[in-house]
Amino acid sequence: MSNPALSRRAKENVRWGLTYAFLLFFAFITLVPFAWLLCAAIKTDAVFFDSQFLPLGHGFLGIDWDSLTLSHFSDLFTSADFNFGRSILNSVFYASTTATLSTLFCAMGGYALAKFHFQGRDWITSLVLGCLLVPGSLLLAPSYQLLYHLNLLDSFAGLILPGVAPAFGIYLFRQSMLNAVPSDLLEAARIDGCGEWRIFFTIVLPLVRPMIGAFLLITYLGCWNNFIGPQIIIQTPEKYPLAVEIAQLKGLYSINYGLLMAGTLISVAPVMVLFLFLQKEFIAGLTSGAVKG
């Protein structure tokens, strides 16, 4: 007779084996474009279209190592035709400042809508929810006109200020604080003499830390990859963020694909590192509202 415990263990091992095989398959599919990007960034222009990945030859592992180069990366930072180093600093400043301010102000707005009772709160909540239905592209023209009258065009202030309090973030923090921040805890802090600012920074924010990490990462990625907004608002090449600067790598009559792939690879690397640091908070923040209690 077969042992039921061994039979269950075998079924469990098969189930986990199939699960990992399934995950490895999709991980491979996900990583293939990054592998192609890396190979394209280090190939010389002469062999760029000769192979999909590394150029084939008679060298070690059947690869033509003489057709690989790192000159594309050095050209990005040494050529007088590009402001690549400056554009990286511009993107870091733009994305970091916008993500930090947006997270702070959205947390404040969500906290007010979730835990304060005032006249018109339901109306304001409905207005915030209604703003989520408006596509961002429809706001480009009125935003440009407003920034023009405020004399904020071609400035980082004009690029940052429109994104410091998005309706999505306010409503997201409102929903998170409804579940994660007990009202009894806030009342106890007020009875003990704790001020509202201290309650917010020392009690409320730590309780919604996973949502802060998730929203911070989402906002940072959105700003880092933003192309339309900076393309419209910024006119000075020295102020271009990385997404716009990469678009400038394309020539008028020809395209250096190796240079373009190297710039794209450099633009991907910082956000990948940031995601590795914040992945736990990102996943916890996205699933914080999935289970009640």
Domains of the chain: 4-69 (no CATH), 82-287 (1.10.3720.10)
- Under DSSP, is residue 132 helix (H, G, I), strand (E, B) or coil? coil
Q: What is the pLDDT of residue 91?
A: 93
Q: What is the pLDDT of residue 272?
A: 81
**Span 147-180, pLDDT tens digits:** 999 999 999 999 999 889 899 999 999 988 988 8
Helix 257-287 and helix 4-42: axis angle, to 10°?
150
Of 289 and 202, the one with more pLDDT: 202
72 pLDDT exceeds 90? Answer: no
Provide the percentage of residues in the chain whose pLDDT is more than 90: 25
pLDDT band at 291 (very low <50, low <70, confident <90, very high): very low
Question: Considering only 9-13, 136-140, 172-176, 259-263, which range has the smallest mean pLDDT?
Answer: 9-13
The CA–CA distances, whole Å, from 11 to 7, 23, 24, 55 equal: 6, 18, 20, 44
What CA–CA distance (Å, rounded) separates 180 from 189?
Answer: 16
What CA–CA distance (Å, rounded) separates 164 from 82?
Answer: 30
What length is written for the chain? 293
What CA–CA distance (Å, rounded) separates 17 from 286?
Answer: 27
Reading the block at residue 292, the tokens are 């009640």
**Span 17-35, pLDDT tens digits:** 888 899 999 989 988 988 8
The arithmetic mean of pLDDT across residues 204-208, rounded, is 90
Contacts of 238 (CB under 8 A, 6+ apart): 83, 86
What CA–CA distance (Å, rounded) separates 257 from 237?
Answer: 21
47 pLDDT exceeds 60? Answer: yes
Q: Tell me if 209 sits within 8 A of 88, measured CB to CB.
A: no
What CA–CA distance (Å, rounded) separates 217 from 199?
Answer: 24
292 pLDDT exceeds 50? Answer: no
**Span 87-140, pLDDT tens digits:** 999 999 999 999 999 999 999 999 999 998 888 888 999 999 888 888 888 888
What CA–CA distance (Å, rounded) separates 105 from 98?
Answer: 10
